[in-house]
Amino acid sequence: MMKFFDLLLPSLNKIGVFIVLTLASCNSEESNLVESSPTFEDLEWIDLSYSFDSTTLYWPNNPDGFQHRVDSKRMTDLGYFYSSYTILTPEHGGTHLDAPIHFYEKGETLDQLPLGKLTGEAVVIDVSSQALNNRDYLIDSVAILNWETEHGKIPEQSMVLFRTGFGKFYPDREAYFGTAKVGVEAIPELHFPGIQLETAIWLAKERQIKAVGLDTPSLDYGQSKDFAAHQALMRNQIPGFENVANLDLLPATGIYVVALPMKIKDGSGGPLRIIAAVIK
């Protein structure tokens, strides 16, 4: 258990959370000093995932959406209730993970991603003031450096979550994507913020992050033609989380994230249950 909190403590210190450890003397049985440390009861767990249902948003030209087929939902002849369902879903839609293989031929597949890339310390960088005023906003390194001026340098091997504010629009397709259209004709009309190519490269090389996520449909902005941010991140074996929920409930630092997708062999991505722990 202490290993878990050892991971949390560096970031918790940044937001002024002081964990008082009063250690008793190893050689004195008369000492009344008591060790005080956080426990799992001190944590608040926040769900960063949207439910999968008929409202789940997928890329506009995706021919399929989420299907939840009832195979059985009844009282049996033996007198007990039994329900079972079949689910059908594309890999990419709703709250989901992009594995590096999604845009890099030699990238890790969903089942190959080590758990260390899917769990760990995270920071939230709020760019909502810029993004909500410009649907085509590209997150640049200036926004990150400004954040670091206030909160300190992003620790290496952290997850970086960008809050654009677009989560408040989900699942309203028109407000979230910028168009209510579906099909190929919708693609030119997509307008939502994303990560600038140079920022993606900078995060990989200068901050050595291990995962990135945001509250929009894609790591790249809606008008992207080449998905350059995807390519840059995934060449560095960095997975991405898309359509992340409830980022407005998280502090800037002092966060521990668990992001576990469905383990699909050779998958390029999959539905994601992502949660975050913060000290109450």
CATH number, domain at 225? Answer: 3.50.30.50
Domain membership flag for residue 269 = yes
Whole-prediction pTM: 0.87
The number of distinct structural domains making up the chain is 1
Domain membership flag for residue 147 = yes
Paired with 44 in beta bridges are 278
Domain membership flag for residue 9 = no
Q: pLDDT averaged over the chain?
A: 90
Taking 70 as the threshold, does the pLDDT of residue 7 lie above it?
no
pLDDT digits (tens, 9 = 90+) for 14-23: 433 332 232 2
Give the pLDDT score at 117: 97
Domain membership flag for residue 23 = no
Structural domain for 113, as ranges: 43-279
Domain membership flag for residue 1 = no
Give the pLDDT score at 42: 87
pLDDT digits (tens, 9 = 90+) for 154-202: 999 999 999 999 999 999 999 999 999 999 999 999 999 999 999 999 9
Domain membership flag for residue 145 = yes
Domain membership flag for residue 11 = no
DSSP alpha helix (H) spans, the chain? 2-14, 128-131, 141-151, 173-177, 197-205, 228-235
Q: How confident is the model at residue 8 (pLDDT cuts 50, 70, 90)?
A: low
Q: In terms of Cα–Cα distance, which of 232, 221, 239, 213 is closest to 95?
A: 213
Kindly give the pairing relationship between strand 240-242 and strand 194-195.
unpaired
Domain membership flag for residue 33 = no
CB count within 10 Å of CB 81 equals 9
pLDDT digits (tens, 9 = 90+) for 197-224: 999 999 999 999 999 999 999 999 999 9
What is the C-alpha to C-alpha distance for residues 235 and 178, in angstroms, rounded to an integer? 29
